[in-house]
Chain A
């Protein structure tokens, strides 16, 4: 592999060109990621609105957060989302990867088919499930046919949240399956053979050979999926509606950001404070998962 720094002979070139190469990327990133990030933090200390510049108000927005029931509802739902979605997304795609790992005839078709939900837009996926879980939809028709009766998946506050979680898991399965497949390919077969010789059955081999071997990937999946779960917006927005289900009880934190901060009367300052919370929790989650990983390893 080449050394990261170029030999000095190649160094002589038009002095402006490196910056010309990097300029578009730096400009876009600066203007639409880093600058908004800084101004989010700055705005969170102001009472800025969409059409009104606003003044410095210190920690007033954050104090208001603590007394805002909707904030706590959003925080609760976004946190519940992690609890509900992450274990499923760490385990189910791994089992799925084991299922599609063997090169049996037609397996590439199955792998691709299982990936289809990942390719589809979350809006398409959300609307498909809104129809499937409708009071008169397919799932309820089937439940009625087998004699269970119809269930209000999309009218009960908790069932709605659970349904949205199920949809998130359904859409994520194929993505994490591919990540696991790459990891499984690196598990040395000698380990499996040795375990088999020792008389370990499939379950034992899974727990004693596969799981330890793909543990780093499981941590990665846990980190990725928990961050994504905490920032959930579209699934719940589509299934519970823009106002967040019955009495807004299914509102998530990002839904609250979107509802508070947009439009002509948007409270940019307060929404920015909410965004700062989203950002802090996201970073904390990453650090938490990585730390839990290190602790367990040592």
Chain B
């Protein structure tokens, strides 16, 4: 007892200091740890620094020197003035609303459409299922950039160019999402649905009550990537939208940059408005973002 008491105070600080272990449970040496953190901080400055510089620029007032050398990293008199000015210059909140509409619609259509189609490919038996699967596999291989002109002429023929519906439609049920959902449904044990069938559940009930709740994780991945894809998209809205009233945020920002290229504070405020919601979303739902990369990369 007394031995233990004597040893403990001496040992504890040492153990605490070196408790850091690697993924194999081995201790990491101190100098290695210092080196790692130094490198991590350097990369952090490189990856996050530019965003912070943009934020800092957007908060600097008209009298502050944003071009100085050496540069001033922090605004000396932070102000939200630039955010008011960007709203006076372009209807930035309308654009944000347009982006939100497009992204939300894309989430709904992708979740519903790919869950239904994925279930049909994974669980239902019918003539032509192989062909249906092939359609989605082929569609996944077609590079969007290679068909964008034909998509544009299709939209014109449908009278949907220059509408938000036209922005949403081509990506509204992504082929990759359908295949992701198909794989998720296929990985479910069949017995549960069989039991439900025996109990008299029809195909909609089996889909809605049993299969769908079991693939929530994949559905969340589909939802997040649909949102991010639609919110961030640039080339397609650039082609299909011509009326400034209908612009999404990315197109509005491009417009702002082209028109007022010499006012960096304004552009900075605009970019912060565009990126903040996604960074917040990412902060809340990180694991789904990472999971999506894994699943998407393996399938894509």
CB within 8 Å of B: which of A96-125?
96, 99-105, 107, 110, 112-117, 119-124
Residues of B within 8 Å of A121, CB to CB, are: 231-234, 249-250, 274-275, 278
Q: Which residues of A contact B175 (CB under 8 A)?
A: 25, 29, 33
Which residue from chain B places its CB closest to the CB of A130 in the assembled complex? B257
Interchain CB contact (< 8 A) of A33 among B43, B67, B170, B193: B170
A218 is an interface residue with CB less than 8 A from chain B: no
Q: Is B186 an interface residue (CB 8 A)?
A: yes
Cα of A132 to Cα of B68 in the assembled complex, Å: 13
Residues of B near A100 (CB, < 8 A) are 40
The segment out of A69-77, A80-88, A207-215, A265-273 that lies at the interface is A265-273
> Is there contact, CB below 8 Å, between B264 and A31?
no
Which one of A113, A120, A124, A175 lies within 8 Å of B293 (CB-CB)?
Answer: A175
Residues of A within 8 A of B178 (CB): 25, 29
Report B31-68 CB contacts with A as 1/0, cut-off 8 Å: 00100110110011011101101100100000000011
A124 and B275 within 8 A (CB): yes
Q: Digit string of B142-179 for contact with A (CB within 8 Å is 1, else 0)? A: 11011111111110100000000000011011010010
User: What is the count of residue pairs linking A and B with beta-carbon distances less than 8 angstroms?
Assistant: 305
Q: Are A254 and B145 in contact (CB under 8 A)?
A: yes
Count of residues in A whose CB is under 8 Å from the partner chain: 103
Q: Is the interface of A mostly helix, strand, loop or mixed?
A: helix
Interface residue? B239 (CB, 8 A): yes
Interface residues of A in 204-256 (CB under 8 A from B): 220, 224, 227, 231, 233-234, 238, 242, 254
Q: Does B22 contact A (CB under 8 A)?
A: yes
B154 and A99 within 8 A (CB): no
Query: Is A298 at the interface (CB under 8 A from chain B)?
Result: no
- What residues of A have a CB within 8 angstroms of the CB of B150 in the complex? 35-37, 39-40, 43, 268, 272, 275
Per the bound structure, the CA–CA distance linking A22 and B153 in Å amounts to: 26
CB distance from A3 to the nearest CB of B (A): 7
- Cβ contact within 8 Å between A224 and B146: no
Instruction: Say yes or no: B40 contacts A110, CB within 8 Å.
Output: yes
Q: Let me know if A26 and B278 touch, CB within 8 A.
A: no
Say yes or no: A227 contacts B143, CB within 8 Å.
yes
Q: A3-B190, A5-B125, A271-B149 are in contact. List 8 more A-B contacts (CB 8 A).
A: A10-B197, A17-B204, A19-B120, A22-B116, A40-B146, A119-B281, A122-B234, A170-B47
B283 within 8 A of A: yes
Binary CB contact string for chain A from 37 to 54 against chain B (1 if under 8 A, 0 otherwise): 101100100000010000
**Best-surrounded residue of A4, A130, A131, A262 (most CB of chain B within 10 A):** A131
Are A102's CB and B36's CB within 8 A? Answer: yes
Q: Which residues of A contact B125 (CB under 8 A)?
A: 5-6, 10-11, 18
Bound CA span A227–B136, Å: 19
10 chain-A/chain-B pairs, Cβ below 8 angstroms: A10-B197, A24-B109, A25-B117, A103-B21, A110-B44, A120-B51, A120-B275, A131-B267, A179-B293, A234-B234
Residue of A nearest to B67 (CB): A136
